[in-house]
Structure 1
């Protein structure tokens, strides 16, 4: 996922709008060839151009209509997938050059750990005026997120997630500390311990710290490496994608990789509660009541609503340090997918300026987000009576909102907080996004941070 060298002998690639004239730079023979092929600029069509000797001398790519392009993201990535291997340069001026160049890099990702994967061989020379190093850092962070989510649970448990954090820290001079097993109880993380104690793979809280000055950013990511549902066991059809239940952790690690690679002037703290929600005699039970790190008591009414439990303790720990901003990312609720589908993650915040910054950045960098309300009248739904909080309100309505309200109860010292209920998965291949794991929200956050934190 890198650009071709700037001095590469790159072939020209022209982008042609639907029904538009062919580029004036084409030779008469090339023009006649394209016309004979019936090339008309229809979205996604490709016409390879021969030179005088018959060798490949460039290509035309159908750019379609503006309306067509609004229906999807990264249309240039389709060219990256279709072009022959080698270096290519954009011969058409493109206002969205930065976003489309990034999409080209994203198209170069394939997960090949367990079987050979055919990686597109066409490489783009970074367009003039675009910061190649920045985009490569973003692409590398995205690749890390995808790799972690795509890895199956036998090779991505709490131990392996910790190893991935340590490897990332080693590349950027960050420090890592871990609290694991029964030490979680001794050091005040009872909810993380309760959720993870049934598995032979010890639960843990993984913390990465980086940066010595500037505002403090705390990133909290749900690291449920596999979710059986616990004693409220999921049916097989619902368990099939649960390797991605650590997608929040993978996404905050990808974002952390971007922040550190770009040397943003801030102090970064990443907290990942890493567990496997398993079934055994030690499993936590429906109707159990636990006292959280925050001191709030929580009644367990569904062991399959475990993500908010592990996040609660981690958020409380983040909140104790009063950072300038706390961001929480989690593959938390099916309700979010019912409301907005797989491509548009909802986010929740009480901070109007933060919400506006995130929404604006999401549109600017083609990383969709949609604000949902922290609806105060629903607070009573998460109050069971026997305890301060209910982890799984009955009725099934407003599930994403009530989960966000639950998490907000654990962030009371820090003024600025946002929660992202992501999916982390691409159900069908799309430009720049092969079927499988995908990052969501990280690029929008990265783009918003300078304004939000005054960097």
Structure 2
């Protein structure tokens, strides 16, 4: 179950959020015993510090949470989550010191300290439970936490229990919760209905490839989300080494992220027409596997020379994007764990994105700062178009040379989005080392920033 806020109660322990530059003035106004306790324990208001202060009877009377300086906070995400992890079990409420502008994001971070992936092993529950801070929309923040937990659970589930069938079941469960509709095109029907690239990538697996579609909403702008659903990626005949295959259960992270974003949208009741498309496959090795050197014909009619079967994500996305563009949505967004080049460029913590519209980029950057969901714009660099054009086909799925791999992949995908207003996210979908509110494992990236920006981008 996703974490929720504690019911407000008079017995909740007050938490004073104290910045390092205000600590001395705050402390001078406290009783001598509080001053002595804080001094003895070295509390200074530094980021992440936490201190339970006992009353005269020995029970916890108040808690102090360090908020550091503005410069230090800029280098962290979810500052209060770090403090929450250090406090003793109990119910807490914010009593003072938390800037209203930060309250929703910090409350979300505190909630997310309660996430546990417990499908295979019981985990220790967090003991410090927070009541929603004053002025914070508790239901809205809990909805964001639920979306994040959904995405994390899907990515954390190993491929043995999260194949194309199970990914479809997850979409169906989400649809049932919010009154959406789900359909799917499976196996050989993909060829009959002209999704040849999705079929080609998934045909070597005994777990049938499919295109999952979810629709919700009957009025307002049309928004289509496309998520890469490669439930496991061996690399195909260009087989990955073992070290590179270890995390390939997360190669459906784009699908998990668009389902998380869809959950936010539906829970908020945004007045738009939502369509979610997930090409769900397993890139396996067997007799029918597609080969390096094959030339494939896409749904759009563009031919693609396969120079690496491990560059399969852009192939399945291509057919789904072509389908999406046929309906001419007002905004088309793809999310995918697509390239290692993106990780080399910006590391695991930033979500690189592409758009031709400066206004959309600015709106997303602003919302990312508000929601503690960092993103970074990379360019659709037109001169690199020649890099994805081989001699014998319209497109190359894996240009040689290794340069600008994320950009060339984005340019490849843009060919299938056509003239539609299009944004692409090349996410990692994984937190490689535990951080406050963000345990090691599956991660939702870019989706909260998108959710916050959508009303402005679509003029809702």
How does the TM-score come out when normalised to structure 2? 0.97
Q: Distance in 2 between matches of 1:98 and 1:279?
A: 47
Contact 2:16 2:97 in 1 (8 A): no
Shift in CA distance, 352/37, structure 1 to aligned 2, threshold 3 Å = closer
Name 2:295's counterpart in structure 1: 289
The answer as to 2:95 corresponding to 1:91 is: yes
Please give the residue correspondences for 1:199-218 in structure 2 after superposition, counting only pairs within 5 Å: 199-218=205-224
Deviation at 1:131, TM superposition (A): 0.7
1:13 to 15, 19, 30: 15
Name 1:429's counterpart in structure 2: 434
Name 1:100's counterpart in structure 2: 106
Deviation at 1:82, TM superposition (A): 1.4
Name 1:56's counterpart in structure 2: 60
2:224 is paired with a residue whose SS is: strand
Q: Distance in 2 between matches of 1:146 and 1:134?
A: 19
Please give the residue correspondences for 1:356-395 in structure 2 after superposition, counting only pairs within 5 Å: 356-395=362-401
The answer as to 2:447 corresponding to 1:445 is: no
The answer as to 2:131 corresponding to 1:131 is: no
Which of structure 1's runs of 4+ aligned residues deviate more than 4 A?
none
- CA-atom RMSD in angstroms: 1.2
Deviation at 1:24, TM superposition (A): 6.1
Name 1:408's counterpart in structure 2: 414
Name 1:119's counterpart in structure 2: 125
Deviation at 1:368, TM superposition (A): 0.7
Shift in CA distance, 252/301, structure 1 to aligned 2, threshold 3 Å = same
Shift in CA distance, 189/25, structure 1 to aligned 2, threshold 3 Å = farther
Name 2:75's counterpart in structure 1: 71
Name 1:324's counterpart in structure 2: 330
Shift in CA distance, 42/351, structure 1 to aligned 2, threshold 3 Å = closer
Contact 1:289 1:299 in 2 (8 A): yes
The answer as to 2:48 corresponding to 1:44 is: yes
How does the TM-score come out when normalised to structure 1? 0.98
Note the residue ranges of structure 2 that are not aligned, 5 or more in a row: none
Q: Which stretch shows the higher mean deviation, 141-150 or 61-70?
A: 61-70
Shift in CA distance, 392/12, structure 1 to aligned 2, threshold 3 Å = same
Q: Structure 1, residues 173-230: CA drift from partner, whole Å, max 9, x if none?
A: 0000000000000001000000000000000000000001100100000000000000
Q: Structure 1, residues 410-451: CA drift from partner, whole Å, max 9, x if none?
A: 01142x100000001111111110111111000000010000
Deviation at 1:121, TM superposition (A): 1.9
Contact 2:433 2:440 in 1 (8 A): yes
The answer as to 2:263 corresponding to 1:261 is: no
1:165 to 166, 171, 176: 171
Q: Structure 1, residues 330-365: CA drift from partner, whole Å, max 9, x if none?
A: 000000000100011211111122111111111121
Q: Which stretch shows the higher mean deviation, 188-197 or 347-356?
A: 347-356
